[in-house]
Amino acid sequence: MRALILPLLGLLPLAACAPGQCDPGSAGFFGGIGCSGGAYAQRTQSLQGSLAYQQQQSMAASQENALAQRDAANAQAQEASLRRRVGEMQRGQADLRRQLAAAQARRGASDAALQRATTDLNSLDNQLRATPSTPDAAAVNRLQQQRQAILAEIGAL
């Protein structure tokens, strides 16, 4: 039996030379011998490649996030601008009413052009009141064009 054990004990130090996942920094003398097969270098290279890929993905996500934030800020600014334009038109309705009343005093209430301007102004009032709190640009532009037409109509009276 002793004859069998002694040769096996002689092979024991060589077992540490088996290549696998090893770290030469933490391996002892015999454990470090197994790192000479290139497995450590391959593992290190693989991890570095994975790290570079993850860094690229992180940078791309950061850029995408910055673009999304910029788009959201632009949309909020545009929405605020549209609301401001609608508010200005609503406040300007009183001025149009005064101009219409002055024209009515000059021309009389039975004038057809004056009645058409009154109807148009009432219609614009209703549309401005019905405008949602987040109006779209096309609707605001259409309202502004109608307002300009009424202004020209009243100016011609």
Predicted model pTM? 0.55
> Is 58's pLDDT higher than 90?
yes
Calpha distance 16→31 (Å, rounded): 5
Lowest mean pLDDT among 30-39, 49-58, 78-87, 99-108: 30-39
Using DSSP's 3-state secondary structure scheme, residue 122 falls into helix
In this prediction, residue 103 has a pLDDT band, given cuts at 50, 70 and 90, of confident
Query: What pLDDT was estimated at residue 96?
Result: 86
Mean pLDDT across the chain: 80
Calpha distance 114→10 (Å, rounded): 117
Calpha distance 143→74 (Å, rounded): 23
Question: Do residues 146 and 124 lie in contact, with contact meaning Cβ atoms separated by under 8 Å?
Answer: yes
Query: What pLDDT was estimated at residue 32?
Result: 55
Tally of CB atoms within 10 A around 134: 8
Calpha distance 124→146 (Å, rounded): 7
